[in-house]
Amino acid sequence: MNSLRRNIFAAAMILFAVCSWAQGPNNSGTYYSNADGKKGSALKTALAGIINQHTTLSYKSLWEHFKTTDKRADGKVWDMYSCTTNYDFDKDRAGNYQKEGDVFNREHSFPKDWFNDSSPMNTDLMHIVPTDGKVNGMRSNYPFGETDGEKYKSNNGFSKLGKNTTSGYSGIVFEPNDEYKGDFARIYFYMVTCYENKVSGWKSDMLSGDKYPAFRDWAKQLLLKWAQEDPVSQKEIDRNNAVYKIQKNRNPYVDYPGLEQYVWGDKKDVVFSYDNYEKPTIIEQPTEEQPAFVDVYTISGTKVRTKVCRQTATDGLQHGIYVVEGKKIVK
């Protein structure tokens, strides 16, 4: 009897160990098991085989999917290009625009011109996000980079366009705000991984024209830096889970913070597995990714609106006295 109990206990412990080993982060289970034991370019290829078999969406359906993937706490559109927009998902989509705050549209954060607007990349929800139409238009298909913003700055300098200021590239670039740089870096890692068999034919000053490393050195170093300085947020985790339910694939660089180091960085010669995976040291950020909402009231206490930025809370209102965060503002 004792021997039987020992055998049952041993079997249970083995099963527990195997199950524990097999469970990936964010309820991904064994989704990434085929990437175990790989490193560098081989790891990237293994990940490609896992994530490239996804559902192809219609371009029109993205409007509705945004309501699940990119909704702020107040029910408005989560815009990563502007800090002053307050868009309704149904009333403010597409259409003409003259200035920031007019409409939002579907932004291919990895510009569709780079891959000739081809399917399935052109409807891949992982990299298509809702953004302000004006800022999106100014971004055009310029590469990401860092700039002083001499050509254009969105409201409060949240996003910028101008000559690149980091080494290795001197062209015009678009710089997203610091709080979303890691988000976009991990989206870019996803794109060149998911479409590994296509990326060598894409054209961009950020791309090297091959499957691996896929990025030019200046772009690779920039994106690795952004990913480290702006670590994975709950917003990204939630969006990744939401996209998975719709599109049936995941972004491994969100599920495994620092995974990019095993593909392109300091750990590219280290075998990746559940046993030796090391999360990067988190660098605390002074900003919160969730926009800080402020309410605007009349002097009599009637709520007028909710805005994202205090500096522009009363923009467009009639002349009068308003109360914002307990302070009177004369307009």
- Region 70-75: mean pLDDT is 96
The two beta strands, 321-324 and 152-153, are: unpaired
Residue 306 CB neighbours (<10 A): 13
Decide if pLDDT at 12 tops 70: no
Report residue 144: phi and psi, to 5°: -75, 150
Q: pLDDT at position 190, please? A: 99
Q: pLDDT at position 25, please? A: 83
- Region 186-215: mean pLDDT is 98
Per the structure block, which two tokens stand in for 66?
A: 């945004």
As a whole number of angstroms, the distance between CA 105 and CA 63 comes to 9
Q: pLDDT at position 291, please? A: 59
- Residue 176 pLDDT grade (very low, low, confident, very high; cuts 50, 70, 90): very high
Q: pLDDT at position 9, please? A: 42
The label of the residue with tokens 């500096």 reads: 311
- Region 71-96: mean pLDDT is 96
As a whole number of angstroms, the distance between CA 41 and CA 20 comes to 27
Per the structure block, which two tokens stand in for 4?
A: 């039987």
Mean pLDDT taken over the chain:
87
The sign of the CA dihedral 307, 308, 312, 316 is negative
Contact 77, 87 (CB under 8 A): yes
- Region 28-38: mean pLDDT is 91
- Residue 275 pLDDT grade (very low, low, confident, very high; cuts 50, 70, 90): low
- Region 59-68: mean pLDDT is 98
Decide if pLDDT at 8 tops 70: no
Lowest mean pLDDT among 20-24, 133-137, 160-164, 203-207: 20-24
Q: pLDDT at position 326, please? A: 60
Q: pLDDT at position 277, please? A: 73
User: Over pLDDT 70: what percentage of the chain?
Assistant: 78
- Residue 67 pLDDT grade (very low, low, confident, very high; cuts 50, 70, 90): very high
